[in-house]
Structure 1
Amino acid sequence: MNPAVNQVARPAESPGPERAVNPAVTPRTAFPRVLASAAAGWALLALPGLFLSGAWWPWLLPDLVPPLAFLAVPLALLALCAVVRDRVRRRRLAGALAVLLLAGAGRAGVNWGALVPGGGPAPAPATALRVFSWNTLYWDTTDDPSAIHRFLRAKDADVYLLQEYLAREDGKHTEIDRSAALRAAFPGYEVVVRGELVTLSRFPVVATPAVGPGQATDDRSVPWRERFERNKVLRTDIALPGSVVSFYNVHVPVQLDVERSPLSGDFYRVVRDTDPVRKEHYAALLADVRANPRPLLVSGDFNTTPAMGDLDGLRGALADAATASDEVLPVSWGPGPLPLWRLDWTFTGGALRVHRYALTDPGGLSDHRGQELLVSPAPTAGRAGGR
Structure 2
Amino acid sequence: MAPHPAAAPPAATPDPPASPTRRRIGAALLFLAGAWVAFVVAHRLLSGRWWRWLLPELVPPPAFVLVPALLLLLALAAGPARRRVALLAVAALLLGADLSGFNPAVLRTPPPAPADALRLVSWNTTVWNHDDDPDRFYALLTARRADVYLLQEYKPADDPAARDADLARLRREFPGYQVAARGELVTLTRFPIVGVTALPADPPPGSDWRTDYWEVKSLRTDLRIGTRTVSVYNTHILVPLDLSSPLRATFHRRRHEFFQRRQVQYDAIAADLDRNPLPAVVAGDLNTSPAMADLDRLTDRLTDAGRASGSAYPRSWAIGGQRWWRLDWTFVSADWTVHRYWLRDVDGMSDHRMQESTLSLGGDR
Same fold (TM over 0.5): yes
**Partner Cα separation in structure 2 for residue 191 and residue 226 of structure 1:** 20
- The 5-angstrom pairing of residues 147-296 of structure 1 reads 147-166=136-155, 176-177=163-164, 178-214=166-202, 217=203, 219-261=204-246, 263-296=247-280
Q: Give 1:266 deviation, angstroms.
A: 2.0
SS at match of 2:99: coil
Find the aligned partners of 2:250 and 2:245 in 1 and give their Cα distance: 7
Question: Is contact 2:223-2:229 (8 Å) kept?
Answer: yes
Deviation at 1:197, TM superposition (A): 0.1
Residue of structure 2 equivalent to 1:319: 303
Deviation at 1:131, TM superposition (A): 0.5
- Of the three residues 64, 67, 75, the one matched with 1:70 is 64
Quote the Cα distance in structure 2 between the aligned partners of 1:271 and 1:336: 25
Query: What is the total number of aligned residue pairs between the two structures?
Result: 344
Q: Tell me if 1:37 matches 2:31.
A: yes
Bigger radius of gyration: 1
- Per-residue CA deviations over 1:23-76 (Å, capped at 9, x if unaligned) read 998322121122123223323432201000000011111111110111001101
Partner of 1:97: 89
Whether contact under 8 Å (1:138, 1:168) holds in the other structure is no
Match of 1:366 in 2: 350
The answer as to 2:114 corresponding to 1:122 is no
> What's the offset of the Cα at 1:265?
2.9
Equivalent residue, structure 2, for 1:18 = none
Q: Does residue 1:28 correspond to 2:22, yes or no?
A: yes
Q: What is the Cα deviation at residue 224 of structure 1?
A: 2.0
The 1-side partners of 2:24 and 2:141 are apart by 58
State the shift of 1:349 in Å. 0.7
Task: Answer whether contact 1:293 1:350 (CA < 8 A) is retained.
Answer: no
Give the residue type in structure 2 aligned to 1:50: R
Distance 1:244 1:292 in 2: 11
Deviates most, 27-36 or 361-370: 27-36
Equivalents in 2 of 1:37, 1:167: separation in Å?
Answer: 53
The residue that corresponds to 1:378 in the other structure is 362
Q: Give me the whole-angstrom Cα distance separating, in 2, the residues matched to 1:61 and 1:250.
A: 23
Q: Which amino acid aligns with 1:248?
A: Y
Q: Give me the whole-angstrom Cα distance separating, in 1, the residues matched to 2:28 and 2:319.
A: 32
1:331 counterpart (306, 315, 318): 315
- Structure 2 residue 43 is the aligned partner of structure 1 residue 53: no
Aligned to 2:335: 351
Show structure 2 runs of 5+ residues with no match. Answer: 1-16
Following the alignment from structure 1 to structure 2, what is the Cα–Cα distance between the partners of residues 265 and 125? 56
Deviation at 1:82, TM superposition (A): 1.3
Q: Deviations over 1:294-342 (max 9, x none)?
A: 1111000001111111111210111111111211111111312332221
Partner Cα distance (1:167, 1:73) in 2? 44
**Counterpart Cα distance in 1 of 2:46 and 2:124:** 28
Cα displacement string for residues 130-176 of structure 1 (whole angstroms, at most 9, x for unaligned residues): 1000000000011112221010011110100000001699xxxxx94
CA–CA separation in structure 1 for the residues paired with 2:60 and 2:360: 33
- Contact kept? 1:138, 1:165, Cα under 8 Å: yes
Separation of aligned partners in 1, 2:269 and 2:345: 28
Partner of 2:135, secondary structure, is helix
Q: Report the CA distance shift for 1:241/1:186 in structure 2 as closer, same or farther (over 3 A).
A: same
| 1:251–1:300 contact (8 Å) kept in structure 2 | yes
Q: List, as ranges, runs of 4+ consecutive aligned residues in structure 1 with deviation greater than 3 Å.
A: none
Q: CA deviation at 1:350?
A: 4.3
Task: Give TM-score scaled by structure 2 length.
Answer: 0.90
Cα offsets for 1:210-255 (capped at 9, x unmatched): 33223xx1x3322222111010000111111121111000000011
Amino acid at match of 1:190: Q
2:77 aligned residue (83, 92, 100)? 83
Question: Aligned residues: percent identity?
Answer: 44
Deviates more, 1:307-316 or 1:334-343: 334-343
Corresponding residue for residue 6 of structure 2 = none
